Structure 1
C-alpha cells in the first residue's frame, strides 16, 4: 500500500491567529486601502466628512456640557480639554465597531477562500486610525492657536494613548467579531458599550469629580479602564501645555500603576479575543 507524505501540507482553515497576519502584509494593505477608498464613495464631500462630523459632534457636546450644564467652569481652555478626550473615544468607538462587524461585512471573501480571518478586524482598526488622523489635525491646529508647543513627553503620551486604544479596540473587536457571526445580538450589545464609552471616561468631566463623589474603590476600577487612561494621556499631551500650570489638575495618585493595570487589561482583551475568535472561526463559513 502506497503512503503519501503529508508533512508539507497544512490543515486548511486553521492558522496561527494574529501571528499569520505578518505573513499576509500585502493583503492587509489591500484591505486597508479598500476600507479607506470605499468609505466615502459616491460622496460629494468625500473626506471632508472626516472633518465635518467630529466637529459637529464636538460643538453639540460643547454647547450642552459647557454652556448649559456649566462643566467649563473652573476648567481652563475647556474646548481643547473636551476635544482631546472626544477624539480619543471616537477612535476607540470606530475601531471597536468596525472590528466587530468586519467578518460579516466581508462574508463574500470569508466563504470563498482561506486567509487569516484576523486580517479583517485588524484592517478595520487601521482604517479607523486613518480616519482618526484628520481629527488629530484639527486638534493640533486648535492647540497651536492656544499656545501649544510640542515636547517629547507630550508626543510620547499621545503615542501611548493611541497604542492603548488600538490594543483595547482590537482585543474587544476580535472577541465580539467572533460572537457576531453566530449571534447577531453581539452587535447590538457593542452599540451599548460604544454609547457608554464617552461617559465612562473623563471626556466631559474631570477624574476629580469621580474621586470626590464616588467611593474610593470605584476610582480604582474606573482608572484601570484603558479608555480612561488613554484619555488622560491625551489630555496631558494636548490640553495640559495650553493651560497655566496651576490649572492642570494632574494625574491621579499612583497613575503609573493604573497605567500598568490598563495595559494588563488590554493584554487580557487580546488573549481572550483571540481565543474566542478562533473558537468561532471554525464555523464562520457555515454561519455566514
Structure 2
C-alpha cells in the first residue's frame, strides 16, 4: 500500500498564530500597502489629513487646558508636552480601532481564501504606525529647533514607548476584533476605552496632579498602566530634554520625572504582553467561525 507523506501539509484553517506572520510576510506587506494606498482615496487633502487632524486636536486642547485652565504656567514648553502626549494617544487609538475592525473590513478576503487571520490586525497596527510618523516628524522638527539633542537613554525611552503602545493595541485589537465578528457591539466598548485612553494618561495634565489626589496604591496602579508608562517614556525622550534646556536658559524649575519610570515601563510592557497573549488566545478561539459569521 502506497503511503503519502503529509508532513508538509497543514490542517486547513489552523496555523501558528502570530508566528505565521514571519512565514507570510509578503502578504503582510501587500496588506499594509493596500491600507496606506486606499486610506485617503478620493480625498482632496489626501495625506494632509495626517497633519490637519492632530493639529486641530492640539489647538483645542491647548486653548482649553493651556490657556483657559492655565496649565502652560506650570509646565515648561507646555505645547511640546501636550503634542508629544497627543501623538502617542492617537497612535494607540488608531491602532486599536483599526485592529478591531480589521477582520470585518476585510470580510471579502476572509470568506474567500485562507491566510493567517492575524495578518489583518497586525497590518492595521503597522498602518497606524505609518500614519503616526508624520505627526512624530513634526514633533521632532519642533524639538530640534528648540535644541533637542538625542541621548542613548532618551532614544531608548522613545523606542520602548512605541513598542508598549503597539503591543497593547495589537493585543486588545485582536481580542475585540475577534469578538466584533460575532458581536458587533464590541466596537462600542472600543470607543469607550478610547475615551478613557485620552483622559486616563498624563497628556492633558501631569502625573503630579494624580499623585496629589489619588491614594498611593491607586497612583501606583495608574503609573503601570501601559499607556501611561508609554506616554511618560515619550515625554522623557522628547519633551524633557528641551524643557531642561529652556529652564537652564531662562531660569525656573522643572518638576522631576516620576519615580521608578523604567520599572513602571517594564511592568507596563509585561501587562501589554499579557494583553497580546490573551488577545491571541481569544482570536484563535473565534477565528474558526469568522467566515460563517461574516
Report which stretch shifted further, 253-262 or 173-182: 253-262
- Maintained 8 Å contact 2:233/2:261: no
Mapping 1:1-288, distance limit 5 Å: 6-243=6-243, 244=247, 247-288=253-294
TM-score, length-scaled by structure 2:
0.94
Q: CA deviation at 1:201?
A: 0.4
Rounded Cα–Cα distance in structure 2 between residues aligned with 1:130 and 1:247: 36
Q: CA deviation at 1:5?
A: 5.3
Q: CA deviation at 1:267?
A: 1.0
Q: CA deviation at 1:3?
A: 6.5
**What's the secondary structure of 1:202's corresponding residue?**
coil
**What's the secondary structure of 2:72's corresponding residue?**
coil
Q: Return 5+ residue gaps in structure 2 as ranges.
A: none
Rounded Cα–Cα distance in structure 2 between residues aligned with 1:268 and 1:43: 39
- Maintained 8 Å contact 1:75/1:247: no
Q: Return 5+ residue gaps in structure 1 as ranges.
A: none
- Maintained 8 Å contact 2:154/2:236: yes
Rounded Cα–Cα distance in structure 1 between residues aligned with 2:256 and 2:286: 44
- Maintained 8 Å contact 1:121/1:173: yes
TM-score, length-scaled by structure 1:
0.96
- Alignment size in residue pairs: 288
Rounded Cα–Cα distance in structure 2 between residues aligned with 1:234 and 1:249: 16
Q: CA deviation at 1:55?
A: 0.6
Report which stretch shifted further, 9-18 or 124-133: 9-18
**What's the secondary structure of 1:143's corresponding residue?**
helix
Which 4+ stretches in 1 moved above 3 angstroms?
A: 1-8, 245-248
**What's the secondary structure of 2:188's corresponding residue?**
helix
